[in-house]
Homo-oligomer: A and B are copies of this chain.
Amino acid sequence: MALAHAILALLVDSPHTGYELAKEFDGSVGYFWNATHQQIYRELAKLEGQGWVRVEVIPQEGRPDRKRHSITDLGLAELSHWVATPGDIAPMKDDLLVKMFVGNLVPRSTMMQELTRHQHLHEERLAFYRQVEQKFFPEVAQLSQQDRFRYLTLRRGIRYEQDWIAWCAEVLAAFEEE
């Protein structure tokens, strides 16, 4: 159910096309959700059927018409209700940790390379979130009520990447001691 709500959350601010939503999940809000465009198009059709979003078709030439999706009052009521509903903590699932768990099956250097590569990937993500931070939340003391929430959410993404990087360093250091 949460993909629906994640989409509604992005529509609170402003209408989006499916294409735009896919880009946002892939980028600036990647620290809390992700989905492919196929999933999003399917979900948007369902949301429209439920009356939670409204669609405005903007004709274009040479490429498919844009379909601007806005949240309806009903959609906003549903989203608000969901936000106020207690939920569980998200279960973890991570390929790299499964690999680490049985890391002794492969040469040490193979694991170290993969760890180093992941550390770089997390550093890239962190750098990107830092850019988002500077662009949208430059003066933390002067944020609107809404942006305060968004900034704190982004903080989770920043911390998460920092923590991954630190763990990679911890493991690499443990390996180098030998």
- Would you list the 3 A-B pairs with minimal beta carbon distance, nearest first? A32-B97, A103-B149, A34-B91
**What is the minimal beta-carbon distance from A155 to any residue of chain B, in angstroms?**
7
* A159: interface (CB < 8 Å): yes
* A14: interface (CB < 8 Å): no
Considering only residues 140-174 of chain A, those with a C-beta below 8 Å from chain B are: 145-146, 148-150, 152-153, 155-157, 159-160, 163-164, 166-167, 170-171, 174
Contacts of A58 in B (CB 8 A): none
Contacts of A12 in B (CB 8 A): 102, 105
Known A87-B96, A101-B153; further 4 A-B contacts with Cβ < 8 A: A12-B105, A32-B93, A79-B105, A159-B163
Contacts of A153 in B (CB 8 A): 97, 100-101
Would A95 and B100 count as touching, CB distance under 8 A?
no
19 A-B pairs in the complex with CB atoms less than 8 angstroms apart: A2-B98, A12-B102, A32-B94, A32-B98, A33-B92, A33-B98, A82-B99, A83-B99, A83-B102, A83-B103, A89-B122, A89-B164, A92-B160, A100-B152, A101-B149, A102-B149, A148-B174, A155-B167, A163-B163
* A110: interface (CB < 8 Å): yes
**What is the minimal beta-carbon distance from A22 to any residue of chain B, in angstroms?**
13
Instruction: Of the listed stretches A41-49, A61-69, A113-121, name the one at the interface; the rest are far from the partner chain.
Output: A113-121
* A55: interface (CB < 8 Å): no
* A84: interface (CB < 8 Å): yes
Bound state CA distance, A6 and B97, in angstroms? 9
Would A89 and B118 count as touching, CB distance under 8 A?
yes
